[in-house]
Amino acid sequence: MQVAGRDKENTTGRRRRQSVSHESALIGLDWGTSSLRAYLFGSSGEIIASRREPWGIMALPAAPERGGFALTLEQICEGWLSDNPKLPILACGMVGSGQGWKEAAYIDCPADTAALAGSLTSVSMAGQSGNRTIHIVPGLIARRNLPDVMRGEETQIAGAFAFIRETSQYDSATLVLPGTHSKWVRVNGNGIVDFTTFMTGEVFAALSQHTILGRLMSKDDSSFHDAAFERGVRTARTAGTGGVLASIFSTRTLCLTQELPGSELSDYLSGLLIGHEIVGIQEKQPTSSPIYLIGADELVRRYAKALAISDLEPISIQNATEVGLWQIASAAGFVTKEVVP
């Protein structure tokens, strides 16, 4: 999906209004914990304009009890709402959590795009542009001995389905969504079958910022150290029965023995944790189906390199959230045309 245009913003965040009523079809919101992205879609699924603000559910411009969610929506969609009072609004992410605008209950796996569209949660809003209904995408739950959940990723996966249908001849695939809580998702023609969460990103942040491992790391070097990262991945593959809790201390000892400088420790630890993640998933659910990567460019590059070291060749999918919002809106009947990325 291509971006057709973007709003102009000045340093105060006030936007130059666009006349979009003749071509707009949907407002899509990717509303997470720390940020909010808004997309204005045209009638063919193209993005007319997009905006981003640091207004996640934990950083609203006004407190929730003072109408913070509604005010935030009015601000980020300034001009879009007044130009088309009947424009449908679809939101995904932590806005549907217990700490969000209104809790959207988890639905059970297996689930497909139609199941997501059929389980939307609605919240009413009275604002300057009139009365509005915002539809929130549900999260997913995998019920087993140790249950697992996702919220936000299900929309990215709905977008990935469109790409996979067009490009793959396989009946099943594995989707990898790197992040604070990385997801490994098994999908087939019936939708999302199962998934596993790894707290890789959060553990990396905690270890590098709040433990003895971080004290030797150089904080002023932002370059990527390929060899150190690769060494971390390979160390994870050969760690043996000691596992991650035994091998992470090597981040410190390799520096003490002058085998790695402090500037390379962060990338070594990153490779080590991602490597253990891959080893763990291969032990749980080995797969010969295609692997797709969805996420931020830097993380996707790291995971692609780590997977290649493990003799796996992933395919990267771009703009999955945007496409997923449109696909769910189409399945819900808000728009009439499906698009593919």
Q: How far apart are CA 135 and CA 121, in angstroms?
A: 6
pLDDT beyond 70 at 240:
no
Separation CA 89–CA 245 (nearest Å): 45
What pLDDT shows up at residue 128?
65
- What does the pLDDT read at residue 15? 45
Strand partners, 194: 186
**Domains detected in the chain:** 1-149 (3.30.420.300), 152-335 (3.30.420.310)
Instruction: Yes or no: say if 237 and 275 are a contact pair by the CB < 8 Å rule.
Output: yes
More confident residue, 238 or 199: 199
Contact by Cβ (8 Å): 89, 132 = yes
- Whether pLDDT at 23 is above 50: yes
DSSP H or E segment with residue 42: strand 36-42
Specify the pLDDT at position 53: 97
pLDDT at 251: 96
CB atoms within 10 A of CB 192: 25
Q: Which amino acid is at 73?
A: L
- In tens, the pLDDT along 249-263 reads 999 999 999 999 999
The pLDDT of 168-191, averaged and rounded, is: 89
pLDDT tens-digit series, residues 72-131: 999 999 989 887 878 999 999 999 999 999 999 999 999 999 999 999 999 998 766 668
Q: Residues 130-169: pLDDT tens digits?
A: 688 999 999 999 999 999 999 999 999 999 998 888 877 6
Task: Enter the pTM of the model.
Answer: 0.89
Mean pLDDT over all residues of the chain? 88
pLDDT of res. 289 = 81
Where does the pLDDT of residue 14 fall: very low under 50, low under 70, confident under 90, or very high at 90 and above?
very low
The DSSP result for 123-164, as a single string, is EEEEETTEEEEEEE---EEE-SSS-EEESSHHHHHHHHHHHH
